[in-house]
Amino acid sequence: MDDDRVTRRRVGAAEVRRANRGWWDTDADAYQAEHGAFLGDVDFVWCPEGLREADARLLGEVAGRRILELGCGAAAAARWLAAQGARPVALDLSAGMLRHAAEAADRTGVRVPLVQADALALPFADAAFDTVCTAFGAIPFVDDSAAAMREVARVLRPGGRWVFSVTHPMRWIFLDDPGEGGLTAVHSYFDRSPYVEQDEHGVATYVEQHRTLGDRIRELVGAGFRLLDLVEPEWPAGHEGIWGQWSPLRGRLFPGTAIFVAEKPAAG
């Protein structure tokens, strides 16, 4: 992409929502063509490092639990949860991604309820779910992720678990380059300006937000959560795949993913 089409700048909430809904609707086919085989049709992959919920068990017991997959994309994780005996609901802002979720349901015969909605205005009652989770969905793309945390807390029952993965905040220091060019620090870790791709008129077409590790912890605590764990998956031996800026070269030197495991305290 041309250098003048990529910048870091503040973007209003409405422009963020339009840009990211439009991006994922337009990019859904290409995204699934490139990453669908890695993610699987009925599987829960937390990150490009390949950590799977089947091995990590970050959600705890799932059988019989009401689980919301937030920013579900093609909903492979929700279908995996259903196969484990959970009662999942898969939610995404993008109709394009939900179309792929419906097509995967037809292929596999594993069906879960699909909901198109904004993570900042979840269409569910208070305490509707036992668990909420997302693998790189919603949180990096909303204008106000602290408000999204509060919405998750609202729909989660007391004692419920909230687990989400995002690009590791330290990655924002570097360029999105899986090669040697991605090993030199060029940005301030403390610059929260979003990464923005824009058209020839300067209108945002893709926006991704940056928060520090401390920011994320304060968002969780501010929403009433208790942090249980922060998982930084190591790059596994033998994994030679490249996903965007994730690569064996970088993955063996510093983390690419942060997974936050939090709990809404039980009442009383």
- For residue range 151-184, list pLDDT tens digits in order: 999 999 999 999 999 999 999 999 999 999 999 9
- Number of C-beta neighbours around residue 248 at 10 A: 16
CB atoms within 10 A of CB 88: 26
Q: Give the pLDDT confidence of 114-137 residue by residue, as tens digits.
A: 999 999 999 999 999 999 999 999
**Can you give the pLDDT at residue 192?**
96
Both tokens of 126, joined, read 């208070």
The three-state DSSP-derived secondary structure of the chain is CCHHHEEECCCCHHHHHHHHHHHHHHHHHHHHHHHHHHHCCCCCECCCCCCEHHHHCCCCCCCCCEEEEECCCCCHHHHHHHHCCCEEEEEECCHHHHHHHHHHHHHHCCCCCEEECCCCCCCCCCCCEEEEEEECCCCCCCCCHHHHHHHHHHHEEEEEEEEEEEECHHHHHECCCCCHHHHCECCCCCCCCCEEEECCCCCEEEEECCCCHHHHHHHHHHCCCEEEEEECCCCCCCCCCCECCECHHHHCCCCCEEEEEEECCCCC
Q: What are the two backbone dihedrals, phi and then psi, of residue 68, each rounded to the nearest 5 degrees?
A: -105, 120
Residue 4 pLDDT: 73
- Low-confidence stretches of the chain (pLDDT < 70) are 1-3, 268
Question: What integer pLDDT is reported at residue 3 of this predicted model?
Answer: 67
- The pLDDT tens digits for 164-173 are 999 999 999 9
Non-local (6+) Cβ contacts of 180 within 8 A are 249
Cβ distance 58 to 67 under 8 Å? no
**Alpha carbons 70 and 141: distance in angstroms, whole number:** 12
* 207 close to 217: Cβ distance less than 8 angstroms: no
Amino acid occupying residue 17: R
- Residue-wise pLDDT for 40-53, tens only, equals 999 999 999 999 99
User: What does the pLDDT read at residue 2?
Assistant: 55
As a residue count, the chain comes to 268
Q: How far is CA 203 from CA 7, 12, 19, 20, in A?
A: 11, 11, 8, 12
Strand partners, 134: 164
